[in-house]
Amino acid sequence: MRSKHFQLAIDGPVAAGKGTVAAILAQKLKCLYVDTGAMYRAVALLAKRKNIDWLDEEKLVALLKKTKLTLRRPKKNDKDKCLIFLDGEEVMQYLRTPDISWGSSMVATLPQVRKILVEIQKKIAQKESVVMEGRDITTKVIPEANLKIYLTATQEERARRRQKQLEEQGIKKPLEEVLEETKKRDYQDTHRKADPLRIAPGALVLDTTNLTIEEVVEAILKKKKKALYISSLEI
């Protein structure tokens, strides 16, 4: 059943530009930006703090059930466009390290962990209009979204983008190492048993390798106008 609120769902591999594009679109469309990847990173952080193995599903699920994981809109002066809280503590500043990035891909393979987070994400999308991005948004979380997008780029380009992100965090890594990590992350995301990354039927596929952020945003906004027109005809 389609929500009465507008839903824009974006999937794609690591460093395809999902977060940057989704945040801009949410601002332009006055929607809530939901960074589901940050939610999995928060679970990885929670596990690390409690000394729980990232693949220990039973302990992770028990811990998650006792933890309040919430998402809030940022204030105008916040650098982050989506804020994640664990039991009231804002944790975004701890979520972008290579360690937590890899941990998030590990916990994301656990079906029961995914089930808990997907339910949280579904509830958010039913309460208000959203631009939601991640790995299974178009296929699992809100497959009935008004508009479904799959962003991608070559592995080499995504590795360069990821290297730049790391440098901005003060982390220097050779491009070859980042490329290898990108390939491993892609394999992890596309081969997990629980909701693997794939292109949903009807999704607009955008290869961002040679596109600017502005060009990607404009292409999606044009598609959005058409999607809303079609939705109005279905009512």
Domains of the chain: 7-207 (3.40.50.300)
pLDDT in tens, 151-207: 999 999 999 999 999 999 899 999 999 999 999 999 999 999 889 999 999 999 999
- Model pLDDT, residue 232: 41
Rounded distance, CA 192 to CA 183, Å? 14
Smallest Cα–Cα separation from 118: which of 202, 39, 58, 26? 39
Determine the average pLDDT of the residues in 81-86.
Answer: 92
Q: What is the pTM of this model?
A: 0.89
Distances in whole angstroms, Cα of residue 31 to Cα of each of 13, 56, 128:
23, 35, 8
Rounded distance, CA 224 to CA 122, Å? 21
Tokens of 95: 């979520």
Rounded distance, CA 226 to CA 207, Å? 20
Query: Which ranges of the chain would DSSP assign to H, the alpha helix?
Result: 18-29, 36-49, 57-66, 98-107, 111-127, 155-168, 175-191, 213-234
- Model pLDDT, residue 228: 55
